[in-house]
Amino acid sequence: MTDGPQALVIEAPLVKPKVGREDWVMRAGLAVIGVYLLVAVVFPLYTILSKSFQDSRGLFVGLDNYAEYFATPALFYSINNSLTISVVSMVITVGLAFGYAYGLTRSCMPGKGVFKAIALIPILAPSLLPAISLRYLFGAQGMIKGLLMGETIYGPIGIVIGEVFWTFPHALLIIFTALSLSDARLYEAAEALGASKLRTFFTVTLPGAKYGLISACFVVFTLVITDFGVPKVIGGGYNVLAVDIYKQVVGQQNFQMGAVVGLVLLAPALLAFVADRMIQGKQVALLSARAVPYEPRPDRRFDLAMLAFCGTVAFIIIGILGVAQFAALVKFWPYNLSLALDSYQFDLMDGGSWGAFWNSLKLAAWTAVIGTAVIFTGAYLVEKSKGFERGRGLIQLMCMIPLAVPGIVLGLAYIFFFNAVGNPLGFIYHTLIILVLCTVTHFYTVSHLTAVTALKQMDAEFEAVSSSLKVPFYRTFIRVTVPVCMPAILDISIYLFVNAMTTVSAVIFLYSADTQLASVAVLNMDDAGDTAPAAAMGMMIVYTSATVRLLHFLLTRGIARRTQAWRKR
């Protein structure tokens, strides 16, 4: 970048093609996406993060807040704890997810479809459900608390279990994709050269999945370090940065300090982002157009071992949710274990009703539809447009920021920005629109990464050919790109849908009288001491998302048959 101007001087007359009408349309599209991201991400975040340089009256105080914050000993415990938890959770999650994905892609074990479906269940559950389950399993009255050998669940152990459960599907999705894209010819070559299985694993399998593994590490690390839901309910006195924000903002209404911690929290996430980009730059496309998909061959002992491994993981996932379902039915844990359906009378319960449930469905549907359209189009323009390098780089960076922003910070940022006097967009405040906008932003990054991955698989020649045939790019986009990327588009939409069903941390500041949400109701019911109804509403969310997921699967299959036939040899 530093040698930019010089390079431009040399390159300009040589390379720069005439900017045609097409390019102007694309650039206009890029500008629209850029403005969207400014409004949805950058401006709101600026309104809150700038408070870290102000006192409570809004006067500029420079770095005073930082000085005060870095002078507190608590900070170092929090940083240390946050890093420990994030690294440990990352290692365990990515390890488990790799083993699981390996079983799904490289063995001939039975029931792969079922195993894949089970592995994605945790993403459907509001984070309170595993917390309730962990309490029922390992708490003072826990069913199997002996397994902890005297250690308490309320601390790092509980946080790690909760985070691994929650992040496992994210890691699995990425690693599964990485392992499925492998070239059988490499394995044939290794075999022909007499390489042992172990050697093949280290020289072919791992390098091939390297990028996926690193991405998974990055995503899990960032998810864990910015999450406050799990540590807040199960973490006991184990302080982490995300909970520090909660304490400052919700406990003490000190937005200035909350903003300081928010910025501190951006640092590790940005570092991870930079590292990720550097490695990505070195990654060469491993899958050329001539690659032959790898197909595993039966190997009884290996298949059985993988079946045992995946079976254990699946059993634990189902078990944790099973306990949550039990919690929804039991009358008064642990003193009255008779079962009843009382908990499902949500209209009589605190903090929630069936109305909240329908609102959540609406939010999820809109988030899925609008989010997918915006994110995929944005990714397409960033990925496939020509020239305008710096602008595209900036947009790319803006797409990565949301992952590193804790929900509390995002929610407050939306209040500050959209409720500001004179903001022409002020009318969306307290409506479903702002909830949709906020939720799309909250889950922007992972969706964007998925879209980019899918687009990268597409040969750039499509655009080249269509433009030489004088077909406008938007027609190519609708006729070729969208159908080819349909699986990824459907994946993004379901990802947005299920996350919108369970999200709490940002929307809790933004819902209003007519837009109460089921996920918030779950939290409030538990807060009011009604654990059973909270679990019941939580499980309703799980079943809804699972149903939508199933419909989605059937739909995908239909669409896949029509749009993906070209992938077959």
Partner 1 sequence: MRTNLLKRLTAALAMGVFALGVGGGVAVAKTDLLVYTSIEADELAKFKNAFEKDYPDINIKWVRDSTGIMGAKLLAEKDNPRADIVWGMAATVLLQLIPYDYFQAYAPKGVEKLNPLYVDPKNNPPLWVGQRAYVAAVCYNTIEGKKNNLPIPKSWKDLTKPVYKGHVIMPNPGSSGTAYLDVSSWIQMWGEEDAFKFMDALHKNISRYTHSGSKPCKLAAAGEIPIGVSFAYRVVKSKAAGAPLVLITPEEGLGWEVEAMAIVRNTKNLAAARALADWTISRKSMELHAPGYAAVALPGIPNPVKDFPDVGGKMIKNDFAWAGANKARIVKKWTARYDAKSEPRKK
Q: Can you give the binding site for partner 1, defined by CB under 8 A?
A: 72-74, 77, 135, 139-141, 150-152, 154-156, 232, 236-239, 243, 246-247, 249-255, 331-336, 349-352, 412, 415-416, 419-421, 426, 429-430, 508-509, 511-514, 520, 524-525, 527-529, 531
DSSP 518-543: HHHHHHHHHHTT-HHHHHHHHHHHHH
Tell me if 264 sits within 8 A of 226, measured CB to CB: no
Nearer to partner 1, 183 or 526 (CB): 526
Nearer to partner 1, 332 or 543 (CB): 332
Tell me if 412 sits within 8 A of 249, measured CB to CB: yes
Cβ 344 to partner 1 shortest distance, Å: 16
Phi, psi of 186 (to 5 degrees): -65, -40
Cβ 203 to partner 1 shortest distance, Å: 43
Nearer to partner 1, 331 or 390 (CB): 331
DSSP 388-445: -HHHHHHHHHHHHGGGGS-HHHHHHHHHHHHTSTT-TTGGGTTSHHHHHHHHHHHTHH
Nearer to partner 1, 335 or 566 (CB): 335
Cβ 229 to partner 1 shortest distance, Å: 11
SS3 for 288? coil
Give start and end residues of each alpha helix (H) in 120-205.
128-138, 156-180, 184-192, 197-200
Nearer to partner 1, 76 or 543 (CB): 76
Q: How far apart are CA 453 and CA 492, in angstroms?
A: 12
Cβ 78 to partner 1 shortest distance, Å: 9
Cβ 541 to partner 1 shortest distance, Å: 18
Cβ 223 to partner 1 shortest distance, Å: 20
Q: Cβ–Cβ contacts within 10 Å for residue 295, how many?
A: 10
Phi, psi of 495 (to 5 degrees): -60, -45
Instruction: Please name the residues in contact with 164: beta carbons below 8 A apart, sequence gap of 6 or more.
Output: 89, 92, 93, 96
In DSSP terms, 60 is beta-bridged to 54
Nearer to partner 1, 388 or 418 (CB): 418
Nearer to partner 1, 13 or 73 (CB): 73
In DSSP terms, 227 is beta-bridged to none
Cβ 168 to partner 1 shortest distance, Å: 24
Phi, psi of 59 (to 5 degrees): -85, 145
Nearer to partner 1, 246 or 473 (CB): 246
Cβ 331 to partner 1 shortest distance, Å: 7
Q: How far apart are CA 167 and CA 347, in angstroms?
A: 32
**Amino acid in position 264:** V
Nearer to partner 1, 151 or 295 (CB): 151
- Which tokens belong to 240? 């982490």
**Amino acid in position 50:** S
* DSSP code of residue 201: I
In DSSP terms, 183 is beta-bridged to 293
Of 118, 30, 69, the closest CA to residue 395 belongs to 30
Cβ 117 to partner 1 shortest distance, Å: 33
- Which tokens belong to 174? 């990425």
Nearer to partner 1, 66 or 429 (CB): 429
Cβ 409 to partner 1 shortest distance, Å: 12
Tell me if 499 sits within 8 A of 167, measured CB to CB: no
Cβ 62 to partner 1 shortest distance, Å: 20
Q: How far apart are CA 358 and CA 276, in angstroms?
A: 39
Q: How far apart are CA 432 and CA 298, in angstroms?
A: 52
Nearer to partner 1, 254 or 467 (CB): 254
- Helix-helix angle 128-138:156-180, to 10 degrees: 130
Cβ 398 to partner 1 shortest distance, Å: 23
Q: How far apart are CA 158 and CA 142, in angstroms?
A: 13
Within 13 Å, how many C-alpha atoms sit on residue 280's CB side? 14
Q: Cβ–Cβ contacts within 10 Å for residue 24, how many?
A: 10
Nearer to partner 1, 32 or 528 (CB): 528
Cβ 184 to partner 1 shortest distance, Å: 43
Nearer to partner 1, 131 or 484 (CB): 131
